[in-house]
Amino acid sequence: MSAFPRAGHLLSGAAALALMLVQAPESRAAEPVDIELVLAVDVSLSMSPAELEIQRRGYVAALTHDTVLQAIADGAYGKIAVTYVEWAGTTWQHIIVPWTVIANRADAERVVERLSA
């Protein structure tokens, strides 16, 4: 038995992520941003419903956390572009949040609203 039982899942996940990033639509930010952030989330059958809920709630909490919002504001441009994509294997990807600019709490809350829908 491997010391890393999920190593196979990690390798297949990394391959799927690499394929998805190649296929992901380009950011269309009309203005410069400090970073273009792809949140690629594994929703395959290796994840339990409880784990999936924890993942999504974690992103919701992080995107509206004061420290994260301050870090965004402190960037050279004071904004980031983010997309949230769920994937399972190499052939299934679903864009939950298309490329969206976050420059303030209201922007972050709009992203969180889509994640929570």
Summarize pLDDT for 62-71 with one digit per residue, the tens.
999 999 999 9
Please name the residues in contact with 60: beta carbons below 8 A apart, sequence gap of 6 or more.
Answer: 112, 115, 116
Residues 6 or more apart whose Cβ sits within 8 Å of residue 106: none
Contacts of 62 (CB under 8 A, 6+ apart): 68
Calpha distance 117→111 (Å, rounded): 10
Residues in the chain: 117
Which one has a higher pLDDT value, 107 or 16?
107
Residue 76 contacts by C-beta under 8 Å, 6 or more apart in sequence?
34
Could you tell me the pLDDT band of residue 80, with boundaries at 50, 70 and 90? Answer: very high
pLDDT-wise least confident of 11-15, 55-59, 108-112: 11-15
pLDDT above 90: percentage of residues in the chain: 67
Instruction: Compute the average pLDDT of residues 5-13.
Output: 44
How far apart, in whole angstroms, are the C-alpha atoms of residue 14 and residue 90? 10
HSE, CB side, 13 Å, CA atoms: give it for residue 75: 19
